[in-house]
Copies of this chain bind each other. A is one copy, B any other.
Amino acid sequence: MAQKMKAAIFVEKGRIVLDEKPIPEIGPLDALIRITTTTICGTDVHILKGEYPVAKGLTIGHEPVGIIEKLGSGVKGLKEGQRVIAGAITPSGWSTACLCGCGAQDGAGTKHGFKAMGGWRFGNTIDGAQAEYLCVPDAMANLAPIDEGVTDEQVLMCPDIMSTGLSGAETGQIRIGDCVAVFAQGPIGLCATAGAKLMGATKIIAVDTFPARLDMARRMGADVVVDYRAENPVDAIMRITDGRGVDVAIEALGTQTTFEAALRVLRPGGVLSSLGVYSSDLTIPLDAFSAGLGDKSIRTTLCPGGKERMRRMQDVISSGRVDLSGLVTHRFKLDQIEEAYDLFANQRDGVLKVAITP
């Protein structure tokens, strides 16, 4: 009889509960990970609220830190007992999408090898990380060892928040001397701010309203912060840039308001790098788009994954280039995860990210 473990399971709209499930069985290319730390993402809250559909009974969570418990028969180059992380997105490596350089859209099981969001499997199409154990598919492409002396919490942001946030800067193709605006300073926006600094932007304008987030934005590299309740952020940014606009605007919330503002503050030829998860159709105002003649671009990015991405994220942390330690504001045991969801979903008590330890 299969051994049991605890896992946070989607039951129905409004209910994610801690329950018992069998410890996952693994196939030849998989690895079984014993989770030592994980966290809750804004996307998990969308799932909780029924805004993003997943199967009933699915284990939620896509940000694993743990120890290899068991390796599939075909897995080479890893060993049991290693401390590892895996990205939120787990590209197979061998799909057409991966071989096209687009692993986040890995449709490994599909006819053509592409599938929108196909690389997002944990807590979406397969059981996720908010559990005692996790089965990691395509382990050779996805498991990245953790350096000695590095704590779980230090790398806890790598799988999703940090990889996503930094990709906002990367997809924006920020150059040395660019001016960048980042809309919203939740965990992803804060990492986007850090990414803009990491790539050489020399004027970074961070937009939010909560003082704690604006403070953290400054710590992440923002040169100027804009409180959108104090001033219309488009006006503020045009004032701050002396009417020029920004080279790159990063959208890190997922609303029409921020999307539109990001488009409006772009200089001609600029790039809107969009990270948000939208929940309704978007409107592109004709004037903000220069009727299609302004050489503007809108680019979206889904969190890059894979072990090499995770290696890079860890090196950013361990080199001291970026310090994300302030993002974990609350800590819970897995047994308390329903309480953690309650706090996080309601954004109480200045929460940024929580750490969950089984």
Contacts and interface: CB of A to CB of B under 8 A. Distances in A.
Contacts of A286: 278-282
Contact of A177 (B93, B103, B114, B313): B313
Copies of this subunit: 4
Contacts of A302: 293-295
A321 interface: yes
Contact of A312 (B107, B166, B177): B177
A101 B101 contact: yes
A292 B254 contact: yes
B295 A104 contact: yes
A276 B300 contact: no
Interface in A65-115: 73-74, 76-77, 91-105, 107-109, 111-115
Q: Which of A115, A116, A286, A297 has the most CB of B within 10 A?
A: A116
A55 to B, nearest CB: 18
Contacts of A306: 99
Interface stretch (A193-201, A210-218, A325-333): A193-201
Contacts of A96: 307-308, 311
A291 B279 contact: yes
Given A274-B292, A278-B286, A245 B203 contact: no
A140 interface: yes
A114 to B, nearest CB: 5
Contact of A198 (B200, B274, B283): B200
B111 A244 contact: yes
A297 B294 contact: no
A14 interface: no
Interface residues of A, number: 97
Interface in A259-292: 267-269, 274-286, 289-292
Contacts of A140: 92, 94
A304 B93 CA distance: 16
B74 A28 contact: yes
Contact of A98 (B74, B93, B223, B254): B93
Contacts of A307: 96, 99
Contacts of A244: 111-112, 114
B116 A268 contact: yes
Contact of A166 (B92, B176, B298, B300): B176
25 contacts: A76-B109, A77-B108, A92-B140, A93-B99, A93-B141, A98-B98, A100-B308, A102-B269, A105-B294, A112-B267, A113-B308, A116-B293, A117-B268, A176-B199, A177-B311, A199-B200, A277-B292, A278-B289, A279-B291, A282-B289, A283-B283, A295-B300, A296-B300, A297-B297, A297-B300
Given A93-B95, A293-B300, 10 more contacts: A28-B28, A29-B74, A76-B108, A93-B93, A99-B308, A104-B295, A177-B311, A198-B200, A278-B286, A283-B283
- Going nearest first, the 10 A-B pairs with the smallest beta carbon separation are A177-B312, A93-B93, A105-B268, A93-B94, A102-B269, A94-B141, A99-B308, A112-B244, A202-B315, A202-B319
